[in-house]
Amino acid sequence: MRWSIRIARVAGIEVRLHLTFLLFLAWIGASYYHLGGPAVAWQGILFMLALFGCVLLHEFGHAFAALMFGIRTPDITLLPIGGVARLQRMPDQPWQELVVAVAGPLVNVVIAAVLIFLLGQQLSFEHLERLNVPGVALLAKLATVNIMLVLFNLIPAFPMDGGRVLRALLAMALPYSRATQIAATIGQGLAFVLGFVGLFTNPMLIFIAFFVFLGAQQEAAAAQIKDISRGLPVAEAMVTHLVPLPPHAVLDDAVEALLRTAQHEFPILDADGRVLGVLTRDDLIAALKRFGPHHPVTEVMRRDLPVVYSYAPFEEAFRRMQECGCPALPVVDGTGRFVGLITPENVGELMLVHALRPREARPPWRRAAPWPL
């Protein structure tokens, strides 16, 4: 995620901190300073750090549960609104998604139970009204907030865990896309209710409602892509009208190609039409600033991109693109010769057209002509 810095690496998972989180801590410190001076300000900052430590453990709960099903988590990012664990992919089975979704709130249940045990007393919800009051015991506030996190995350709306729990339960009886659509509709309905209530009570509810609405919309779109891509070959999704670059090309040649085409990714092919790498527009611009126009493209191209076959299922290729976070996937035929690219832009366009086009109107498999070098 942009504007984030790595602060740790635990069990192969990068822990990242969004820069806005630092601004949020500064705002918390200033607010508490206004209430009681420097000592109270440090207490407020300490409480927020402890709270986001619990949020981080919550996200690790999701990550370790996903790992049980062979799904890695490249990173976890802490934001002012919470944490985000970026899974390589969603679980294939509804019951697996249910386990992954519930794992996070269960971590907060355990934390709250341990804190209540340490306090040696039953927790009173009167702490909810005193969270911003200096002098209230840190552990008592932390236990109360963990219970609040459980209740909030179990709201049946995306992107909260409750939305995924609802989707998983519905998907046990309905198609995945239909289950997602129902869960997303419920989430968007709750977002409207929260927003309406926020107009008359707390403006923060309006922000939360907006966050919930967008999350539900994104989940519905992702499920639609997954549903449409099922049974679709890579050949129907790839871009075939491309300008490749030879191995002896320099950055100036790539700039010329960039200006006279609509391409953002340029395949580097050898004399036999095999892929050596891919040069992206961002890498081109960065290299141009650093090395100048006469630097060879082979020294700045991406060599680590996985290759997919044109006859492979597009669902598999799309999953690989998500897992590696690749800007493009080279497509080859049975002999290993380059025939096209899959990019996020053409995937979005394909999904839009494919959703509107009758199934019998799908185009036949397209064989690309040999690439001129």
Question: Kindly report the CA angle at 96 between 326 and 76, in degrees rounded to 5?
Answer: 45
At 125 the pLDDT is 52
Strands (E), 11-61: 13-18
Q: Which residue has the tokens 């970026």?
A: 86
Model pLDDT, residue 14 = 86
Q: Which amino acid makes up residue 342?
A: I
**pLDDT given at position 65:** 92
pTM, entire model: 0.66
SS3 71: coil
pLDDT for the residue numbered 364: 47
* Residue segments in the chain with a per-residue pLDDT below the cut of 70: 1-2, 120-137, 221-231, 323, 350-373
Residue 83's SS3 state is: strand
The pLDDT of residue 354 is 63
Q: What is the pLDDT of residues 288-309, one digit of tens each?
A: 888 888 999 899 898 888 888 8
Strands 329-332 and 338-342: antiparallel
The pLDDT score that the predictor gives to residue 367 is 42
pLDDT of amino acid 224: 67
Give the pLDDT confidence score for residue 306 in this predicted structure.
Answer: 85
Helix or strand holding residue 10 (H, E): strand 4-10
